[in-house]
Chain A
């Protein structure tokens, strides 16, 4: 079956530093969705990318979809303590979503 791989698994940054998580696949990605799960919370939908090369921004968050639709990234500029949590990507596979394992972000103030 399709696998969506996320790297890194874990990242610990100093507050104010930038952070990037990557979502990769050996096959062509269809529609990438990004979610954030705060510690003790549930995943919350952030954004969806569908077009090759697409770039979307939400305040300090920048989402990109690779030109070949084999990868996607989420970049956070100047992290804050409120950014802590696990970031998941998910792709459509047939009639279901397949989630990556997630990247855990910790921010040291």
Chain B
């Protein structure tokens, strides 16, 4: 069974730009969650999608948004990038949002 696939693996952007990250979940998993990981803050929950609906949202500004498609693939968008957005963005899929999470390798985003 293929794991969770995130693309791209690495991204370098400048302040003010926007970025879209992609996540393909494990086949059969309808719940996709996104996390931001930084050295000082650990794993911070961004949002969770289930059957194309955002069901949970963390404490992040509106610049962070996402969506899920009918095939369960999910995208995350960050607009007006700031230096503090530099982080590893992890996507996880599961059968439901509180079931064991299967993480992708992440996208490492660097803002210059």
Contact = CB atoms under 8 A, between A and B. Distances in A.
Interface of A: 31, 33, 35, 41-45, 48, 88, 90, 92, 94-102
Which of A44, A45, A48, A97 is packed against the most chain B CB atoms within 10 Å? A97
27 contacts: A31-B98, A33-B100, A33-B101, A35-B101, A41-B105, A42-B103, A42-B106, A43-B43, A43-B101, A43-B103, A44-B103, A45-B100, A45-B102, A95-B48, A95-B56, A95-B97, A96-B45, A97-B45, A97-B97, A97-B101, A98-B45, A99-B35, A99-B43, A100-B42, A101-B42, A102-B42, A102-B43
A35 B35 CA distance: 14
B56 A45 contact: no
A4 to B, nearest CB: 10
Interface of B: 33, 35, 41-43, 45, 48, 55-56, 58, 90, 92, 97-98, 100-106
Given A88-B42, A99-B45, 15 more contacts: A42-B105, A42-B106, A43-B43, A43-B90, A43-B92, A43-B101, A95-B56, A96-B33, A96-B56, A96-B58, A96-B97, A97-B97, A99-B42, A101-B41, A102-B43
